[in-house]
Amino acid sequence: MTYIVGMVSQKGGVGKSTLARMMAREFVDGGLTTKIADLDTQQQTCTNWAGRRAESGINPEIQVQSFASVKSALEEASRFDALILDGKPNASEQTIEIAQAADLVVIPTGQTVDDLHPGVVLAHSLRKKGVAPDKIAFAMFKTTGSERENAAARDYIAQAGYMVLNGEVSVSTAYGSASDIGKAITETSFRSLNDRASKLAQSVIDKMAELQERRVA
């Protein structure tokens, strides 16, 4: 059985591709054959990152391929234990296709209403298209370290009827520096940052396992 994870967002720059790369690295590190399907054929953020990773000789190797459609990406699913669909921002039809195909849909968001509101609107639109709310999860990105702001953001999402994954990715130049050389955000030079990101990755894995158990039951 292949785990399919969809990374979607209503706006760019909230951490969607960063999250896709982190999860691919953690899946592979855990022994799962994994591929990222880069569905943003213009930006190709994950594809370019994989090239930098290969040039830097960083292990484990992460397989990334650019696809023009969700349908063509899904044809690869049976060859891998996990397939991560990294969609375009603001791509309504593609986003719906990803959400309907995925076992888990992750929406990254920042702490401000400018980020939270579009994310919740997107989640609502997916529900209207038949996506079950329990397979939609939010991931906190670009957090400030303020417990008050973090709690308020998490409450905003909970009030809207959605779950927020444990862990968070704070604002840090170390994450950007790691990405520049092809590393995931769990591979920085700072253990505390890696641990924080790893907690988020583990929360995604736990949620995937929970949904799979429900399906089998």
Task: Note the pTM of the prediction, 2 decimals.
Answer: 0.95
CATH topology of domain 3-216: Rossmann fold (3.40.50)
In the chain, what are the domain boundaries? 3-216
Residue by residue, DSSP assigns 153-216 as HHHHHHHTT-EEEEEEEE--HHHHHHHHTT--TTSSS-HHHHHHHHHHHHHHHHHHHHHHHHHH
Q: Residue 63 is inside which H or E element, if any?
A: strand 63-66
d(C-alpha 8, C-alpha 70), whole Å: 13
Per-residue pLDDT tens digits for 176-217:
999 999 999 999 999 999 999 999 999 999 998 888 877 765
Tens-place pLDDT, residues 110-124: 999 999 999 999 999
Would you mind telling me the total number of residues written for the chain in this entry?
Answer: 217
Mean pLDDT, all residues of the chain: 94
